Amino acid sequence: MDPILSEQPAWAEDVLNALDAGILLLDRHGRVRYWNNWMERASDVPARAVMGHDLFDAFPNLRESRLHTAVRDVLATGAPGVLSNTLNPMLFPLRLPDGRKMVHNVLIRPLPSGGEARCLIQVTDVTASVNRERVLREQRDARYRAIVDTAPDAIITTDTRGTVQWMNGAAARQFDYRPDELIGRDIHTLFGEDAPAWVELSERNAPDGGAFDQSGEAVELTGRRRDGSRMDLELSMARWQSEGRSFITGILRDITERRRTREELRTSALSMRQLAEQTKATLDALPAFIAVLDPVGRIVSVNRAWAEAGPETEFLGQGSIVGDNYLEMCARDGNRKGDPQSDADPQSDAVLEGLRSLLADGGLPLSTEYAGHGEASQHWFRCLAAPMTAGPFGGTVLMHIDVTEIKSMEAALRKLVGQKSTLLREVNHRVKNSLQLVSSLLTLQTLSLPNETARAHFQDARSRIEAIARVHNRLYQADQFQTIEFGTYLKELCEDLGRASGGDILCDIAVRSDIVDLPIDQAAPLGLIANELITNAIKHRGGQTARIDVAFRREGDGLVLTVSDQGPGLPANFDMRKGRSLGMRLITSLSGQIRASVAVVPAARGTTFRIELPIPDEVPSLEPTAAGDYGA
């Protein structure tokens, strides 16, 4: 036992052994001079095993610890020291009664006596307090982790070298990694090549350890997912410390959609400005006086023509400017020459009432003509107005167009059309009369011919001429001169051919037809074809009553004319293209003229001809077509 203790009363050692702490006493050479009971129990090393021995020989592992340095400092300089478990865990190989390792703090202080340096070491068990702090910390961390893990934004913590220490679930999902996959890796794995340095950002913006960017602004940078795809990020950072270590926590918000939306809005705004400029330029270039009215009739904007219009323009409300109430200006100009005592102009009243209706309930667009109010010459204007229903504020777009020249041209055109109609009617009348004269001459000539064959040829020629004359007769009777309704024409043709052949006794013709308007250059050839087919059916009836069915129908994109009879039929080897008769040659030639196809349809009895032709294009009503050649 050390002399310093032997000089103390006996109960002093009992006190040291009763302490709930370890007590060691070292002499100036570092040899153990006292080792109390607490140290024996905690280290499982009896006092006799270490008394008089160098402490660091008895516990070689302590030689490389800070305890060795602290003991030397105390013995050499008398400077005390404290070794906490935080920075110096498990200095002595101590254990608790249940066998667990003991967490302990060590206090080293000088104990001078008789001029000789000594070192007193006190070992304190802090296992319970450390465990208590750990439980509290885990509870606190659990609350923090629950909040952070449910956060929608990515949260990542690194050390001051940028090595990832922890990341929440949102970060793992955002970058497509497992939560533990990035632990220990450099944070720049998650950023593009041009991203600023993570640590430099934190030092530059929070040098004092405070929160990043205290102005409220954040850094925007590019993130990189596992597959290499990019995303736009907004970064906020903070530096903090725990247990003597510094950490950096960053919150990374995915702003890809926000940036895309921002770019789209910027592009949309630019497009709207361009559209507004284009619209203004277009309105300024239009030969019309245009204004936009608000819901109460106040002029909001006008085009250049309206703004620069002089008194000679004479349109209703001329002289009104932006800010004026157009309805009041319109009512003022509704009186002739501005005389309040004169009668109101009905045309101006119609414009005014139409505008009021539009502004009140957004009715139908307005379109009306009115006479200008000038004294020098008469001008006509068309007023067009439509409600603005797309915007939130409503209002009306108003346009006045000078239609004086248009009305003059319409009057001249009506006069020309009237003259042309009269001329065409007269031409058709004269052509019809001429053809009837030729037909009469042929009839007279036929009566004087003694040869039956010659009379038949003359009769065929007369029939063909009458078919053409019948077309011009229909044109003469109609109000227009380009087309005829072919169904009616076909019925008249069949009636005339039936009467000419001897009536119902020799001929029974049934006609079925759709209502189809054909142009003259199609109706005349098709009428001649029908005339030839019906005439042939009557001629070759075989001594019986000719029963003929004629049909004219629309089928798909074309028209079909069929002529069927119950006669003896055609020869077995009949080829229409090789036929020598004038009738067959006419049918072949005329069908080619109107782009029609002619076919003989197999039938159990008699003969059926089928003529197919395309539906004609619409013929312009102001360009009548003169009759052309109808023969081969």
| List of residues 6+ apart from 51 with CB closer than 8 A | 32, 33, 34, 35
Query: pLDDT for 251-272, tens place per residue?
Result: 989 888 888 888 899 998 998 8
Least confident of 143-157, 430-444, 445-459: 430-444
- Regarding predicted confidence, which is higher, 506 or 610? 610
Nearest in space to 547 (alpha carbons), one of 468, 595, 603: 603
Residue 623 — pLDDT band, cuts 50, 70, 90? Answer: very low
Buried b (16+ CB within 10 A) or exposed e, 292-316: bbbeebbbeebbebbeebeeebbbb
Mean pLDDT calculated for residue range 523-542 = 82
Mean pLDDT calculated for residue range 127-151 = 82
Mean pLDDT calculated for residue range 434-445 = 64
Cβ–Cβ < 8 Å for 190, 175: yes
d(CA 348, CA 370): 7
Q: Within the chain, what is the greatest distance between any pair of CA atoms?
A: 184
Residue 204 — pLDDT band, cuts 50, 70, 90? Answer: low
Query: pLDDT for 207-233, tens place per residue?
Result: 454 444 444 467 888 889 999 898 888
pLDDT value of position 41: 93
Q: Are strands 219-224 and 164-167 parallel, antiparallel or unpaired?
A: unpaired
Cβ–Cβ < 8 Å for 614, 520: no
d(CA 282, CA 279): 5
- Regarding predicted confidence, which is higher, 603 or 132? 132
Residue 446 — pLDDT band, cuts 50, 70, 90? Answer: low
The 3-state DSSP class for residue 164 equals strand
Mean pLDDT calculated for residue range 175-183 = 88
Mean pLDDT calculated for residue range 543-556 = 86
Query: pLDDT for 296-321, tens place per residue?
Result: 889 989 998 888 887 777 788 888 88
What domains does the chain contain, in order, with CATH numbers? 3-131 (3.30.450.20), 151-254 (3.30.450.20), 286-402 (3.30.450.20), 412-614 (3.30.565.10)
Alpha helices by DSSP H, listed for 501-619, are 520-539, 582-593
Query: pLDDT for 483-521, tens place per residue?
Result: 888 888 888 888 877 877 666 667 888 999 999 988 878
Query: Which DSSP symbol is given to 324?
Result: S
d(CA 303, CA 284): 5
Q: Which amino acid is at 21?
A: A
d(CA 178, CA 47): 54
Highest mean pLDDT among 122-126, 407-411, 621-625: 122-126
Q: How many other C-beta atoms can be found within 10 angstroms of the C-beta atom of residue 407? A: 15
pLDDT value of position 622: 42
Dump the DSSP string for 11-52. HHHHHHHHSSSEEEEE-TTSBEEEE-HHHHHHHT--HHHHBT
pLDDT value of position 417: 64
By 3-state DSSP, what share of the chain in percent is helix, strand and coil, each rounded to 5? 45, 25, 30
Q: Is 60 exposed, middle or buried (0-12, 13-18, 19+ CB in 10 A)?
A: exposed
Residue 582 confidence (pLDDT) above 90: no
Nearest in space to 92 (alpha carbons), one of 37, 25, 22: 22
Q: Is 56 exposed, middle or buried (0-12, 13-18, 19+ CB in 10 A)?
A: middle
Nearest in space to 116 (alpha carbons), one of 6, 9, 26, 53: 26
Kindly report the CA angle at 323 between 317 and 324, in degrees rounded to 5?
30
Task: Compute, in degrees rounded to 10, the torsion defined by CA atoms 262, 267, 272, 277.
Answer: 140
The 3-state DSSP class for residue 579 equals coil
Residue 162 confidence (pLDDT) above 60: yes
Token pair belonging to 531: 């005339």
d(CA 214, CA 596): 89
Average pLDDT taken over every residue of the chain: 80
Mean pLDDT calculated for residue range 461-480 = 62
Nearest in space to 470 (alpha carbons), one of 451, 495, 448, 450: 495
Residue 117 confidence (pLDDT) above 80: yes
How far does the chain reach from its first CA to its final CA, in angstroms? 152
Q: Is 18 exposed, middle or buried (0-12, 13-18, 19+ CB in 10 A)?
A: exposed
pTM of the full structure:
0.41
d(CA 113, CA 354): 119
Phi and psi dihedrals of 168, rounded to 5?
A: -85, 175
